[in-house]
Every structure is written in structure tokens, then in C-alpha cells.
């Protein structure tokens, strides 16, 4: 099985985004397209002698093919050992767990997260570094630069590695170990949560409906919720990972998880509902006829963290992405702990967690996590909620309403305009940025603007600076509107508009969200002329 060298030419557009390189499956299926990117990655990484690499994905279409390519190239790179999930499966938080528990030098995650799967769907690849978290910008920028120069692919002429049974194989001098994808992750969960209390909750008749959306979270949820914690068989639905997610859109929000919402708003609904996404790093939590916003979820977990064994000593601090609502800021102030505001992207939380400054963190895009790994973690969040319900005796809704009583409600929504021609989206943002200096002190759509800037972040640990992370408009009453282009799509650009206002009056906290935020929608349109720029009368998705 000799190492072989294949000639190649660079592909344009292999710049990793917020969560790695994401493209249509048909793009990845081009000759040596994946190989070019992996070679660029391996070329910028140090010598692999004596090192361990972790490889796994969410099971979507092209996952198995890609893993075989990577295993051969990892052997050619000279890794001592590669750990690969059985069946090619590893959730994104599980990759982080395995990297950390086995002291690996890094991990390759094959996923397009919450994007659709199948032959006509999306595929993605990203690299996680030795702390288990996504590669920092200095690494992704180096990979992109190398992708424009790569001329040779180094691989091995070998048979496919059998992925469906646990065991050890070898290509050249590299040991390839097919591992149980759940084992390391489950061990971490046992050390964080009161499993006895959760078992008693289920024994009391508490009913949960967990929708794994035919994605990678299913095996993890079945193993922990049903097999270990005693939830009735059938608690986890859509539990088998499918290459096309069974035609479902694996994004856990009220729009795409409509079946779960239907069950939770029906007569005789379960006590709690939950869903995870394509690679199991996102989560949605639902009470009976009550949807929990991701921002409120983070705030509730922070407020009650001391009731959970893994966090009983208190939180060092919390962090949120800039577009996420300020609900957790208010909790942090009460707890007298720091609250950090970072750009969107989980990699920005890594330094804060590694330096011991942050314990919990979250993003408005249904991502919540802690310092147990360096990725957001969907099932972890659901177990956290179950632990809180078990030890407080409160329902999901009552826990959220308790947050609102103490801190007021941060009424919040995100409006997505998807698949906009990139040049239009770029022009919209350029026009907004050009207008920023003249906005403070003016009236727009009848509201007083006090802040207008383009968010920039200086990492408090390593001093790195990230510019142009989103246009922020702050109003005199504390409300705000944020404009940002997302890096997770594969077609055109996605404009995201984030809207937030604080409601202290309990009598007004149950007003329909979009009604409450209508003045901010009007302001956003007046500033950015969104309808004209996008050609859309309404957002593609509102969450």
C-alpha cells in the first residue's frame, strides 16, 4: 500500500467560513475537490509523526466516501493513529469530546450542520484543533491560502477501511481504530448531570419527545435518554441517521421542526419537547404550548447552573455572540460574574474557556454549550433542562417565566433573507456601513438612534482582532437592530436581521413577538431598504 502522489490543480472558492467549508454535494463530488482541501489542511499542519487524528461526520450523503479519502490521506501524512466513529458517525460535540479525552492533535468534522442533506443537498468539512474547538482564523486563512497553491495530492493505494464494526486496521504505518461514537461523550455527561434525579423524573411519568430529525443525534439520545435514563421507548423519534435526513430540514427551530411543535401544542402534549440538528450541536427546547428562545435558554441555564452537579461550584463567567439577546447579561449581573460579547462562531468562545474565564456560552442560532467540550452541544442542553426540571419541580414554561419576572423579557427575533445574490448583499452592507457615522443622534422611523457601529472584537486572551462582525444600531430605549451576513449557507448570501427590545412590564410580556418588534422591523427597512435590495417582501424564515 505505497504512498502515491496525484497531480492536481487548485479550485477557486475553498475559503472556510464560520464553520468550515460548505458547498453543495455536487461541488464536493468534483474530481479531487475534497482531496485538494484536505491536502491544503495537511500542508499547513505540523508533522504528524506520533500524533492522533479524530475523524467523523453526521452521516449525511457523501460522508462515507469522504471518510475513506481522508483516512488514506491521513496515512500518507504520517499520523500514528486515527480514531474514526463507527459507521463514519461522530456528532460534532462528540468529536470535540474524543479529541480532548484522547489528547488528539485535532479532528476533522464532516458536516454541513443544520443544512439539508442528500445528493442535491449540502456537505461540509472543518478542522478542530487540539482543545477540541474549531480552528482559529489564522489556521483557516492559512488553509485557504494553501488551497490556491496545492499541486499534489498525497494519498495511499489501499482498500476501504471497514467502518461498521469496532476494530483496528492499518494503512502503511498508521493505526486506524473504529470506535464507539457514543462512549466518550456519554462518560462526560455522567460526570455533569444528576442522572439519578433524571431517572426518577421519568419514573414519575414525566414525558419527553425528542426529535432527532433523522440525524446524528439519534444514537446519542437513544443511548442516554432511553437506554440509560429510562425514558420510555419511543421518546426519541426520527432516531436513525439517514443520508438525506428523511427529507427533513435538520434545523431545530419552530419552522423546520413543525412536527414537534404540533405535538407540543396539541391536547395531551408531553411535558417537554426537544430537537437537535444535523450534527447534534444545536438544540431547541419546548414546553407545553411554549417555545423557549435560544437566548432565554442560555439565560435560564446560567441562572440555575448551581443546581446541577457539574456546575455546583458556580460559573466563572458566561459568553454570548453579539447578535444573541442580552438576557444572559442580566443574569450575569445578578450573579456578579463576567459576561463576554463575541462575534458569531464557536471558535471565539474557545480562548475564553481555555483561560478559565467562561463556563457557559451560547448563540441565538440554537447553540448552547459549556467548557465540557469546545463545541456547542444539543443533547447536553436537553439533559441540563431535564436536570433542572427534576430538581426544581418546575415546568419548562415556569422556569422561563421566572427569568422574565426577575429580569424582564428580552423580546427577540431573527429574520433571515436567504439565497440573495452575493453582490446585492455585499452592497446592502456596504451602504449601511457608509451611513453609520451620521446615524447617532438622528431619528429613524420615529425612533432615536444612540449607537451605530460595525462590531469589532479584540480577543482578551490572545489579542487577535476581528473586524466587520455585524452592523449594530442601538436605540434610546435600549432596543437594538443588528445586520449581518451569514457564512453557513451554500448558495448566494443570507442576510440576517436581529431584533431585540426589553419588556419589563409583565402585562406586555405575552404580546406576539412580531407585533412587539414591528417598530424595529420598520426601522430596519428604513435604514437598509431590505425589500428593494433582496427582492423579497418577507423574510425566508423568522425565528
Where do the structural domains in the chain lie, given as residue ranges?
3-181, 185-407, 409-542
Q: Where do runs of H (alpha helix) occur along 268-313?
A: 294-304
Would the CATH topology of 3-181 be identical to that of 185-407? Answer: yes
Q: Which residue among the candidates 111, 113, 276, 370 is catalytic per the annotation?
A: 113
Give the architecture (CATH level 2) of 3-181: 3-Layer(aba) Sandwich (3.40)
**pLDDT tens, residue by residue, 83-92:** 999 999 999 9
Q: Counting Cβ atoms within 10 Å, is residue 410 exposed (0-12), middle (13-18) or buried (19+)?
A: buried
- Which CATH topology does 409-542 take? TATA-Binding Protein (3.30.310)
Low-confidence ranges of the chain (pLDDT < 70): 1, 487-491
Q: Which residue has 431590505 as its cell numbers? A: 530
Q: What is the pLDDT at residue 541?
A: 87
> What is the helix (H) or strand (E) element at residue 451, kind and residue range?
strand 447-454
**pLDDT tens, residue by residue, 431-443:** 999 999 999 999 9
Q: Using N-to-C axis directions, what is the helix angle for 378-392 and 92-101, rounded to 10°? A: 90
Could you tell me if residue 432 is left (phi over 0), alpha (psi between -120 and 50 degrees) or otherwise beta? alpha
| DSSP one-letter code for 134 | B
| DSSP one-letter code for 227 | I
The yes-or-no answer on residue 113 being catalytic is yes
Q: Per CATH, is 185-407 categorized as 3.40.120.10?
A: yes
- Three cell numbers written together for 277: 440538528
Amino acid at each position: 500500500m505505497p504512498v502515491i502522489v496525484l497531480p492536481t490543480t487548485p479550485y477557486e472558492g475553498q475559503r472556510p467560513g464560520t464553520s468550515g467549508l460548505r458547498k453543495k454535494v455536487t461541488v464536493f463530488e468534483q474530481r479531487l475537490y475534497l482531496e485538494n482541501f484536505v491536502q491544503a489542511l495537511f500542508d499547513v499542519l505540523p508533522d504528524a509523526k506520533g500524533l492522533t487524528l479524530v475523524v467523523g461526520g453526521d452521516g449525511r450523503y457523501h460522508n462515507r466516501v469522504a471518510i475513506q479519502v481522508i483516512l488514506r490521506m491521513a496515512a500518507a501524512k504520517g499520523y500514528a493513529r486515527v480514531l474514526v466513529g463507527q459507521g463514519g458517525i461522530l456528532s460534532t460535540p462528540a468529536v470535540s469530546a474524543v479529541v480532548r479525552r484522547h489528547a488528539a492533535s485535532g479532528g476533522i468534522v464532516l458536516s454541513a450542520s443544520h443544512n439539508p442533506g442528500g445528493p442535491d443537498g449540502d456537505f461540509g468539512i472543518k478542522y478542530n484543533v487540539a482543545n477540541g474547538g474549531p480552528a482559529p482564523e489564522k489556521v483557516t486563512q492559512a488553509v485557504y491560502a494553501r488551497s490556491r497553491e496545492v499541486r499534489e495530492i498525497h494519498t495511499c493505494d489501499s482498500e476501504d477501511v471497514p467502518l461498521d464494526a469496532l476494530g483496528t486496521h492499518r494503512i502503511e504505518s498508521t493505526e486506524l481504530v473504529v470506535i464507539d461514537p457514543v462512549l466518550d461523550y456519554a462518560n462526560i455527561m455522567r460526570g455533569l448531570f444528576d442522572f439519578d434525579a433524571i431517572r426518577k423524573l421519568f419514573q414519575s411519568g414525566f414525558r419527553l419527545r425528542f426529535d432527532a430529525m433523522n440525524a446524528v443525534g439519534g444514537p446519542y439520545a437513544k443511548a442516554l435518554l432511553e437506554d440509560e435514563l429510562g425514558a420510555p421507548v419511543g421518546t426519541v423519534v426520527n432516531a436513525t441517521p439517514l443520508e438525506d435526513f428523511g427529507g427533513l430540514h435538520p434545523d431545530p427551530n419552530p419552522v423546520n421542526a413543525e412536527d414537534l411543535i404540533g405535538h407540543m401544542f396539541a391536547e395531551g402534549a408531553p411535558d417537554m419537547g426537544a430537537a437537535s440538528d444535523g450534527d447534534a450541536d444545536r438544540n431547541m427546547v419546548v414546553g407545553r404550548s411554549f417555545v423557549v428562545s435560544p437566548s432565554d435558554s442560555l439565560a435560564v441555564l446560567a441562572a440555575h447552573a448551581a443546581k446541577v452537579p457539574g456546575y455546583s461550584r458556580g460559573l466563572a463567567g458566561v459568553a454570548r455572540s453579539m447578535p444573541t439577546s442580552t438576557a444572559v447579561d442580566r443574569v450575569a449581573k445578578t450573579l456578579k460574574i463576567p459576561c463576554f460579547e463575541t462575534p458569531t462562531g464557536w471558535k471565539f468562545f474557545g480562548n475564553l474557556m481555555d483561560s478559565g474565564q467562561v463556563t457557559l456560552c451560547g448563540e441565538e442560532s440554537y447553540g448552547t454549550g459549556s467548557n465540557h467540550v469546545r463545541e456547542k452541544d444539543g443533547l447536553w442542553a436537553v439533559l441540563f433542562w431535564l436536570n433542572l426540571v427534576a430538581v426544581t419541580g418546575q415546568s419548562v414554561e415556569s422556569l422561563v417565566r421566572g427569568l422574565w419576572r426577575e429580569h424582564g423579557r428580552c423580546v427577540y427575533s431573527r429574520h433571515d433573507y436567504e439565497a440573495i445574490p452575493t453582490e446585492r448583499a455585499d452592497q446592502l452592507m456596504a451602504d449601511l456601513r457608509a451611513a453609520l457615522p451620521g446615524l447617532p443622534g438622528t431619528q429613524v422611523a420615529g425612533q432615536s438612534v444612540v449607537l451605530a457601529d460595525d462590531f469589532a472584537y479584540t480577543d482578551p486572551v490572545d489579542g487577535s482582532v476581528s473586524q466587520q462582525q455585524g452592523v449594530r444600531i442601538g436605540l434610546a430605549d435600549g432596543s437594538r437592530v443588528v445586520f449581518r451576513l451569514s457564512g453557513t449557507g451554500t448558495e448566494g448570501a443570507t442576510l440576517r436581521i436581529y431584533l431585540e427590545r426589553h419588556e419589563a412590564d409583565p402585562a406586555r410580556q405575552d404580546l406576539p413577538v412580531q407585533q412587539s418588534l414591528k417598530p424595529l422591523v420598520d426601522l430596519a427597512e428604513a435604514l437598509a431598504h431590505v425589500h428593494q435590495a433582496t427582492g423579497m417582501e418577507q423574510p425566508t424564515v423568522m425565528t
